Chain A
Amino acid sequence: MIGLWSVPLLFALPLALGIISLLATPAWRARLGLAGLPLLLAASTAVFVHLVLAGPHTYALGHWGAPLGISLVVDGLAAGMVLLTAVVASLCALYAWVYLRDQPPSTSFFWPLLWFLWAGMNGIWLAEDVFNLYVGLEVMGLAAVGLVALKATPQALAAAMRYLLAALLGSLAYLLGVALLYANYGTLSMAGLHEVATADVTTQVALALIILGLLLKTALFPLHAWLPPAHGGALTPVSALLSALVVKGSFYILLRIWVMLGPEVTPFATAQLLGILGAGAVFYGGWMAWRQHHLKQLVAYSTVAQIGYLFLFFPLVTGTGPEAARLAWDGTLMMLIAHALAKAALFLSAGNLILAVGSAHIGHLVGISRFRPMSLFSFGLAGVSLMGLPPSGGFTGKWLLLNSAILSGQWWWLIVLFLGGLLSAAYIFKVFRMSFREGPQIDHSASPPLLLDVTALLLAAGAILIGLTAHLPLGWVRIGSPFGAG
């Protein structure tokens, strides 16, 4: 009962909170924000628990059904993403609450933007038809651009503008694809399209447009140029939110559409192409991350690299057997969840290190291990997951993907996973090398408030824990999916 009621709350709450905080004074925005977090966390948990207990279901907002009404689907994947968003966004918001105290009052617009972002994301996770995905995508995208522009420096504004242009181009391509699909089949709902989709020319063109648009928004190599300046140049909690959740939104849409269309419609060649681009992202992103001197740019390029792993999903589920496909599904989702937790932790702890040293240059981190062990520890734990070393979520995801690659006979992806792990080790240990080095003695460092370190640590610990207990979340997320139990 509560579970069913919570679904519309997932939209009503953030939208209401967003509007109210727009109208409130800067001081009240933060307080309102803090008050809203537990509510949304509770609603998200309720939806998830309801799913685990009662199984998947659809829900029509306002009881107006499709096609003119908004129909929502709550299955394992959707509920899982809702809960993940709630956890990560809450911790990032908590971080922001402390972090933004020392920033100019205009940054209090973080709060209304956060709520709209959250509403948009929930819209994406729960959407049942492809047009609502567009709406959610837009809301999320515009809020994200706003968040990037919060930091009013010229670089941040340029980054926001670049992001906006890329986002607009991407969504228009996606919209055109949706238009073609509707014209061809007369339905927008995912269930409907799943029934009637065939591999004719219009569908292929539509799919190509949709893929192009979403690739641009997910910043897959080589369409990634907007990401490093935007994620690396924004305020720390914003970077965390963007890398952890926002890029996953467009990926999620691609995942859903691909699975919905089914293996007869989705071309093998396209799947392999996506995998190859993913491989390119892993190598290019990893190499560029290694070459960075600015800590947050390093972490931003790391996002470019890690997104590449997610795209290995497509070649591993297209044209392969059910066992390999299931492993690919499990592995990709595990990597997605682990990356969200680990990347948020990485950005937040990087932010702490920057606050402590007063500079974002990696070379200035010399000797910091004596003063900020906790920040370094969170950075390290998150790094362990990103490198795919045990015992973390990143390792479990990598394990599953390796299994899938071998089982499906597409052993060339093994090289990607192998080299990608080594590249991540290169850039993570670059930071550690600096911190262990004994240099001209810095005998003090600024001491950021404890809450900043605690939130980073919690996220990093989450990334590790999810690896050790993986079969529980994986089992839940599989509820209602075509790769379901069995």
Chain B
Amino acid sequence: MSGALVFAWSGVVLFSLGLFGFIVHRHLLRRLLAFNIMGSGAFLVLVGLAQDGRGVDPVPHAMVITGIVVAVASTALALVVFRRWYRASGRTDLPEDT
């Protein structure tokens, strides 16, 4: 059990926590935050798993950087839509939610 796998497992834990929060919370901002935690968890898994004694592997780094950019863009879009929704409806959660 090398140190790298600790990162990977932490990533899994973060992902699960984020998933739990995403599903359970009603307030949209909290759901977005939960999504971001999930994303960080996934990236941690990616980086953590790829560290197993193969030396420095640039591919996961590239993947994580891309992933972070995508997450930023998604969060930005989500915030814009949320703001519009709040202005239009006065609510911070979605009606009869899933």
Contact = CB atoms under 8 A, between A and B. Distances in A.
Interface of A: 67-68, 131, 134-135, 138, 142, 145-146, 149, 152-154, 157-158, 160-162, 164-165, 168-169, 171-172, 175-176, 178-180, 182-183, 186, 188, 225-226
Interface in B37-85: 38-39, 42, 45-46, 49-50, 52, 54, 58-60, 62-63, 66-67, 70, 73-74, 77-78, 81-82, 84-85
Contact of B81 (A67, A161, A172, A225): A161
A145 B77 contact: yes
Interface of B: 8, 15, 19, 22, 28, 31, 35, 38-39, 42, 45-46, 49-50, 52, 54, 58-60, 62-63, 66-67, 70, 73-74, 77-78, 81-82, 84-85, 88-89, 94-95, 98
Contacts of A168: 35, 74, 78
A135 B66 contact: yes
10 contacts: A68-B59, A134-B70, A135-B70, A142-B73, A149-B81, A157-B85, A157-B89, A160-B81, A168-B74, A226-B98
Contacts of A175: 42, 46, 67
B95 A158 contact: yes
Nearest to B47: A179
Contacts of B77: 142, 145-146, 164
A131 B64 CA distance: 11
A183 B94 contact: no
A-B CB proximity, top 7 nearest = A183-B49, A179-B46, A157-B85, A154-B88, A154-B89, A138-B70, A176-B42
A142 B85 contact: no
Contacts of B28: 161
Contact of A164 (B22, B62, B78): B78
A182 B66 CA distance: 15
A422 B98 CA distance: 30
Contacts of B62: 68
A154 B90 CA distance: 10
Contacts of A157: 81, 84-85, 88-89
Nearest to A202: B49
A227 B62 CA distance: 32
Given A168-B74, A175-B42, A176-B42, A182 B81 contact: no
B22 A162 contact: no
Nearest to A179: B46
Given A146-B77, A168-B78, A188-B59, A161 B94 contact: yes
Contacts of B45: 176, 179-180
Contact of A183 (B19, B50, B70, B88): B50
B98 A172 contact: no
Given A145-B77, A172-B35, A175-B42, A161 B85 contact: yes
A452 B74 CA distance: 33
A70 B95 CA distance: 41
A479 to B, nearest CB: 30
A68 B82 CA distance: 35
B46 A182 contact: yes
B11 to A, nearest CB: 9
Contact of A176 (B15, B31, B59, B88): B15
B91 to A, nearest CB: 9
Contacts of A172: 15, 35, 38-39, 42
Given A158-B95, A161-B82, A175-B42, A180 B49 contact: yes
Nearest to B64: A179
Given A131-B63, A135-B66, A169 B22 contact: yes
A162 B35 contact: no
Given A142-B74, A152-B84, A182-B60, A158 B94 contact: yes
A154 B85 contact: yes
B31 A165 contact: yes
Given A168-B78, A175-B46, 12 more contacts: A68-B62, A138-B70, A158-B89, A160-B81, A161-B85, A164-B77, A175-B67, A179-B45, A179-B60, A180-B45, A182-B63, A183-B52
A182 B50 contact: yes
Contacts of B38: 172
A216 to B, nearest CB: 11
Contacts of B15: 172, 176
B88 to A, nearest CB: 4
A145 B81 contact: yes
A164 B32 CA distance: 10
A158 B52 CA distance: 44
Contacts of B35: 165, 168-169, 172
B58 A179 contact: no
A68 B58 contact: yes
B98 A162 contact: yes
